[in-house]
Amino acid sequence: MKVKFKAFAQFSVLALLAASCTSNPDSAGLEYMPDMYRSPAIEPYVDYGEVRGRINEDTKMHISALVPPKHTIPFWGTDSATVHMMLPYHRKPSAAYATTHGLYGYDYSMDAENGDYLLAAADVNPVKITSKEQSDKLFAKAKSLYQANCMHCHGEKGDGEGPMVKAGSFTGAANLKSLAIADGQMFYSIYYGKGAMGAHASLVNKQEIWTLVHYIRRFQDANYGMYDAKGMPVAIVPAAGAAPDTLKTN
């Protein structure tokens, strides 16, 4: 009897080990009590329509990553300047943007025609250019952002002749070289969209938009943000976010 029990126990162990094996190199095999170590919390970008082999048709086509509740503030570290810069944008769009740019559920400006666009002229770019090394890094980052989000319409040189425009798929892209608006208005236009351009607030954050503003300024002045061999700025970057006609070179 003991021999049979021993043989049965050995067979059970071998069967369990065999069942735990798989030919899929990415599989961990059978899981023992997965609820003990697998978080039951809802996670973004997970297909909850299929959980452990069970298909739920009601949720299969629904995304799990939803828009955060209104007025919530993401964590941006402990640097006070960065945190302040990344706070929710205080300028408001026109109510017309709900129809023209899909900005539903926003707090709208009292100015039904312009929104806070005119007020945005007073906003100063908080991303400062302080040294050659910092400038080089900033413009390298800005170039990457521009290529990913802007170049297809505005063109590599900012002349409004991007691939989509040349192909006839889009018209009306602004010539950034001659864009005579203040930094804050440029930010506002990228954030909420303007004319045929859609809102980019969901694609680039506030710091990235301000970085793009610097990049666009260099289209208008090749010396913008440049430093000479002595480490001195070649062009004077206006502190008040002025329009390009006020830019001065040394």
**Domain locations along the chain:** 2-55, 80-249
Mean pLDDT across the stretch 110-126?
95
Mean pLDDT across the stretch 116-135?
95
- CB atoms inside a 10 Å sphere around CB 60: 11
Using the predicted structure, report yes or no on whether residue 161 has a pLDDT greater than 70.
yes
- Looking at residue 228, its pLDDT comes to 85
Write the CB contacts of 105 (distance below 8 Å, at least 6 apart in sequence).
Answer: 70
Give the percent of the chain with pLDDT over 90.
Answer: 53
- Looking at residue 43, its pLDDT comes to 60
- Looking at residue 105, its pLDDT comes to 85
> Is pTM, for the whole model, over 0.85?
no
Give the CA distances from residue 182 to residues 82, 213, 245, in Å, rounded to whole numbers and listed in that order.
22, 10, 10
- Looking at residue 38, its pLDDT comes to 62
Taking only the tens place, the pLDDT of each residue in 218-248 is 999 999 999 988 888 886 655 444 444 434 3
CB under 8 A, 24+ apart: contacts of 90-94: 91/115, 91/116, 91/117, 91/119, 91/120, 91/123, 91/188, 91/191, 92/116, 93/192
CATH T-level topology, domain 80-249: Cytochrome Bc1 Complex; Chain D, domain 2 (1.10.760)
Taking only the tens place, the pLDDT of each residue in 173-194 is 999 999 999 999 999 999 999 9
CA–CA separation, 235 and 250 (whole Å): 6
- Looking at residue 245, its pLDDT comes to 43
Q: What is the DSSP string of 28-79?
A: --S-SSGGGTS--S--TT--TTEETTEE-TTTTTS-S--PPPTT------S-
- Looking at residue 243, its pLDDT comes to 47
Identify whether the C-beta of residue 220 lies closer than 8 Å to the C-beta of residue 177: yes
The distance in angstroms from the start CA to the end CA of the chain is 100
Using the predicted structure, report yes or no on whether residue 134 has a pLDDT greater than 50.
yes
Question: What's the pLDDT band for 35 if we cut at 50, 70, 90?
Answer: low
- Looking at residue 62, its pLDDT comes to 67
Question: What's the pLDDT band for 2 if we cut at 50, 70, 90?
Answer: low
Using the predicted structure, report yes or no on whether residue 18 has a pLDDT greater than 80.
no
- Looking at residue 240, its pLDDT comes to 41
CA–CA separation, 219 and 186 (whole Å): 14
